[in-house]
Amino acid sequence: TRTDAEKYEPIPAPVEVEQGGTVNPDDTIANLEDLPEGTTVTLPEDFSTDEVGSQVVDVTVTYPDDSTDTVEVEVTIVDPNDGKTDAEKYEPIPAPVEVEVGGTVVPEETIENLDELPEGTTVTVPDVDTTKPGTTVVDVTVTYPDDSTDTVEVEVTIVDPNDGKTDAEKYEPKPNPVEVETGGTLNPDDTVGNLDELPDGTTVTVVEEVDTSKPGTHEVTVVVTYPDGSTDSFTTTVTVKDPAAPAPSPSTPGTGGKLPITGANTTGLAIASVFAILGGLAAAAYAQRRKES
Which of 9-23, 45-59, 269-283 is least confident?
269-283
Structural contact between residues 181 and 244, judged by C-beta atoms closer than 8 angstroms: no
On the 0-12 / 13-18 / 19+ scale of CB atoms within 10 A, 209 is exposed
Q: What is the mean pLDDT of residues 236-262?
A: 65
**Residue 189, Cα to own-chain centre: how many angstroms?**
37
Model confidence pTM above 0.95 = no
Q: What confidence tens digit (pLDDT) does each residue in 145-196 have?
A: 999 999 999 999 999 988 889 999 999 999 999 999 999 999 999 999 999 9
* CA–CA distance, 17 with 47 (Å, rounded to integer): 13
Structural contact between residues 145 and 89, judged by C-beta atoms closer than 8 angstroms: no
* CA–CA distance, 289 with 293 (Å, rounded to integer): 6
Report the amino acid identity of residue 270. Answer: A
Q: What confidence tens digit (pLDDT) does each residue in 77-121 have?
A: 998 888 889 999 999 999 999 999 999 999 999 999 999 999 999
